[in-house]
Amino acid sequence: MKKILLHLCTAGAVLLASLVTATAADSKLVVAMLPKSKGNAYFISCKVGADKAAKELGIQLLFDGPTDSNAAKQNEIVENWITLGVDVIAVAAENKEGISTALRKAQKAGIKVLTFDADAMTDARSFFVNQATPEGIGHGLMDEAARLTNSEGEFAMIVASLTAANQREWQKHIEARLKEKYPRMKLVAVRPCDDLKDKAQSEATALLSANPKLKLIMAICSPGVPGAAEAVKQAGLTGKVKVTGLGLPNENKRYVHAGVTDSIILWNTGDLGYLAIYAGVALAKDELKKGAKAFKAGSLGTFTIAGDNILLGKPFIFNKGNIDQFDF
């Protein structure tokens, strides 16, 4: 009987230990990260930083998104995460208004919500992790375009979509800067590429055909820059039609070194993903609250909070002289 009792006690202890282990594992914070499109190299590079932060913080990271710029699909994914009962949702909003209803529902379910890269409505999230101010991005792009064209002539823009909140905001500041400082330059067309390089290439090819006086193509989504560059290269217009925009160094190095693309503007995308996860975890633990003035994010250090915006920093220009120093 003693042996039986001993075995039962031992079995009970093993079961209890396994339950405790399972409970400990289940108690990990779950942060769900939603990019505009999960196959976009820009957001893949954001995930590298997010993965690093998740490992440092000991949390579980879910990463999912549409395969292209699809606002309705983003809503579906948020609804699924509400059902799963994740702790935090971090969203790069494709459609500012469209995603906000689902995010408000998540908040009512007790899920902490923040945005990164592209914001939702302010009442649908607690904080926005902003890569740079829209004004800084728009002015930086327009000033670089003016530098490359001697501040004169026609140029065109390629955007991810005509509804993306952050792209619309950047475009507003690009056009304001154009009107303010560059009267001899003219924006002749804006074309969407659905965040796809191949479509960006075909749109750029159409722009070159329809606008023989075109001096520059500015792409404000990362697949758009190499897509436009390939179109210019294949048209035999290298050096005659300039290419610039928001892009990743690794996707554009060969075009920059070949003289097709003159420059790209961006920020450290890995740092953006890293910062978003640190902010999300701090929010879940009530370490980041409304009215906070500063926030520490691991190895990146302390960031100033302006209202409900956590700002990563200023845009950076990559060109032939420095692009090989970066690997993302």
At 327, the pLDDT band (50, 70, 90 cuts) reads: confident
Residue 17 included in any domain: no
| pLDDT of 152 | 98
Percent of the chain with pLDDT over 70: 92
Regarding whether 90 and 212 lie in a shared domain, the answer is no
The tally of domains found in the chain comes to 2
User: In sequence order, what are the beta bridge partners of 264?
Assistant: 318
At 326, the pLDDT band (50, 70, 90 cuts) reads: confident
What's the token pair of residue 128? 């926005």
Regarding whether 138 and 127 lie in a shared domain, the answer is no
Query: What's the CA gap between 264 and 137, in Å, rounded?
Result: 12
Regarding whether 158 and 87 lie in a shared domain, the answer is no
Q: Is the pLDDT of residue 131 over 50?
A: yes
Residue 325 included in any domain: no
Mean confidence (pLDDT) of the chain: 91
Query: What's the CA gap between 61 and 97, in Å, rounded?
Result: 26
| pLDDT of 184 | 98
At 322, the pLDDT band (50, 70, 90 cuts) reads: very high
| pLDDT of 325 | 87
End of a domain among 242, 266, 290? 266
222, 36, 181: which is closest to 115 by C-alpha?
Answer: 36
pTM: 0.77
Regarding whether 178 and 61 lie in a shared domain, the answer is no
Residue 6 included in any domain: no
Residue 35 included in any domain: yes
Q: Is the pLDDT of residue 218 over 70?
A: yes
Residue 324 included in any domain: no
Regarding whether 274 and 260 lie in a shared domain, the answer is no
Residue 216 included in any domain: yes
Query: What's the CA gap between 70 and 77, in Å, rounded?
Result: 11
| 100-120 tens-digit pLDDT | 999 999 999 999 999 999 999
Regarding whether 262 and 142 lie in a shared domain, the answer is yes
| pLDDT of 26 | 54
Regarding whether 239 and 153 lie in a shared domain, the answer is yes
**Domain carrying residue 96:** 29-131+269-313
| 237-264 tens-digit pLDDT | 999 999 999 999 999 999 999 999 999 9
| pLDDT of 111 | 99
Regarding whether 245 and 214 lie in a shared domain, the answer is yes
Regarding whether 181 and 120 lie in a shared domain, the answer is no
Q: Does residue 62 contact residue 89 with C-beta atoms inside 8 Å?
A: no
Residue 277 included in any domain: yes
Domain with 245 in it: what CATH number? 3.40.50.2300
Q: Is the pLDDT of residue 19 over 70?
A: no
pLDDT, mean of residues 191-196: 95
Residue 14 included in any domain: no
| pLDDT of 33 | 99
Span of 6-15, 92-101, 143-152, 211-220 with lowest mean pLDDT: 6-15
Regarding whether 247 and 139 lie in a shared domain, the answer is yes
Regarding whether 299 and 230 lie in a shared domain, the answer is no
Regarding whether 63 and 42 lie in a shared domain, the answer is yes
At 315, the pLDDT band (50, 70, 90 cuts) reads: confident
| 167-189 tens-digit pLDDT | 999 999 999 999 999 999 999 99
Residue found by looking up tokens 């909140």 in the block: 165
Nearest 10 degrees: Cα torsion 192, 196, 200, 202: -110
